[in-house]
Amino acid sequence: VQLQASGGGLVQPGGSLRLSCVASGSIRVINSLGWFRQAPGKRRELVARIFGDGSTNYADSVKGRFTISRDNAKKTGYLDMNNLKSGDTAVYYCNAWILGTVGDFPLEYWGQGTQVTVSS
């Protein structure tokens, strides 16, 4: 199983970006999918997560600005980021708990990071 993240880039304050995370491999169920971020000198933090039933949770700092969603048929998760601020600058990582075709328990997977820079 692999996760491939994309969509990062340089954007001005107030701008928008959409991150995508595509899961591939021997997958039965994607239990949950989330986005984390890590700014220089800071710990990695949860930004948003979406569960199999569609429920979501968000970090307080992004509530009302970011929206997480998933397309189960495409095995893809998205993070729509609006009204971006300089404090959102970080490397963003997708994360998922996936039940594969082998084994009875979901395992945790990480994608490679994608850089988001918010600057004028």
Lookup: tokens for 38: 């890590």
32: nearest Cα among 89, 92, 106, 91: 106
Q: What is the pLDDT of residue 103?
A: 82
Encode pLDDT of 62-81 as tens digits.
999 999 999 999 999 999 99
**In the structure, what pLDDT confidence band is assigned to residue 101 with cuts at 50, 70 and 90?**
confident
Encode pLDDT of 25-49 as tens digits.
999 889 999 999 999 999 999 999 9
How large is the average pLDDT for residues 87-106? 93
Place of tokens 């971020």: 37
